[in-house]
Chains A and B, each alone.
Chain A
């Protein structure tokens, strides 16, 4: 998957990964990898600034917990604003995907 395309949708991807429930950065990356069937293999370091940015924007909240290993761990969860933003982004994406599908479909028929 093209990195630049992925970066353009990083916010939506991270919000979608957290829709399943609160998770720490590593958990978010694992969830993205699992739900995308391994197609979205993002550079791991890009997720943390994205989480921080989404938190600043009020779409996520976070708190420190102690993991099973005893290490401090920052756990992120969607806020109500984040929930709403994800619903909006999903609707925009659906419209976009339908339009592209229609376009590519007709292009396929035209060249056939």
Chain B
């Protein structure tokens, strides 16, 4: 790859390589700009000719520098995934419990058929949620044990994959639980018809579905980044 001729071109190339994280890209651009300008400012007299090119050459290849940031970024993102999943599972739990309390508070009528269906599905719902909680806590604890990579080679790739797997398993389990809850809630609403007291159950189900979908999207994007990072390193 040819070396950029000017500091501006070099910074543009580095920014492109760091485009996976715009905030990081801006920060690094400022830092490297200051560094290169200071290096050039330090060269006076005859040495000033070609000072920019020498400063750029000494700084190194933008792709290799970006690869080091990329490894760190994916590592941070996977650790964050553990926290995000556990927070989402906790929020979903409170939304579900809140709905149960609300049903009791408004004395929501339930037909015997729906009660029987609810009783049949409840163990599946509970075990799916418990499984989600166990995987979420496991993924979070596993993520805490991951050390920050010392270079761009992503030596802890297998551990990152395990952490990602735990987070994905928790998300699938919680999605099953949320889907069952949404199904039972819609049956309740169909039985009684829409009223103002139905707003809270509807809002809680929408919140749960939204959280599960957001976590799934986050994990899918994280997986794609890890794949790209693995391919680059």
Contact = CB atoms under 8 A, between A and B. Distances in A.
A74 B27 contact: yes
B12 interface: no
A49 B28 CA distance: 9
Interface in A15-62: 24-26, 43-46, 48-49, 52-53, 56-57
Mostly helix, strand, loop or mixed at chain B's interface?
helix
Contact of B38 (A26, A43, A49, A52): A26
Interface in B9-24: 24
B65 A45 contact: yes
Contacts of A10: 150
Contacts of B65: 45-46, 48-49
Nearest to A11: B150
A67 B148 CA distance: 31
B69 A69 contact: no
A7 interface: yes
Nearest to B68: A49
Nearest to A59: B148
Nearest to B70: A49
B68 A69 contact: no
A72 B26 CA distance: 12
Interface in B25-68: 27-28, 30-35, 37-39, 41, 58-61, 64-65, 68
A43 B35 CA distance: 13
Contacts of A24: 31, 34-35
Nearest to B72: A53
B207 to A, nearest CB: 32
Contacts of A52: 24, 28, 69, 72
A73 B69 CA distance: 19
B30 A56 contact: no
A75 to B, nearest CB: 10
A67 B37 CA distance: 12
Interface residues of B, number: 28
Contacts of B61: 45
A69 B69 CA distance: 27
B64 A45 contact: yes
Interface residues of A, number: 23
A71 interface: yes
A30 to B, nearest CB: 9
Nearest to A58: B148
Given A44-B60, A69-B38, 9 more contacts: A24-B34, A25-B34, A26-B34, A26-B38, A49-B68, A52-B24, A56-B148, A74-B31, A74-B34
24 contacts: A10-B150, A24-B31, A24-B34, A24-B35, A25-B31, A26-B34, A26-B35, A26-B38, A44-B58, A45-B59, A46-B65, A46-B68, A48-B28, A48-B35, A49-B69, A49-B72, A53-B72, A56-B72, A56-B76, A69-B38, A71-B37, A72-B30, A74-B30, A74-B34
Report, nearest first, the 10 A-B pairs whose CB atoms are least far apart: A45-B60, A49-B68, A45-B65, A45-B59, A43-B60, A71-B34, A26-B35, A44-B59, A26-B38, A72-B30
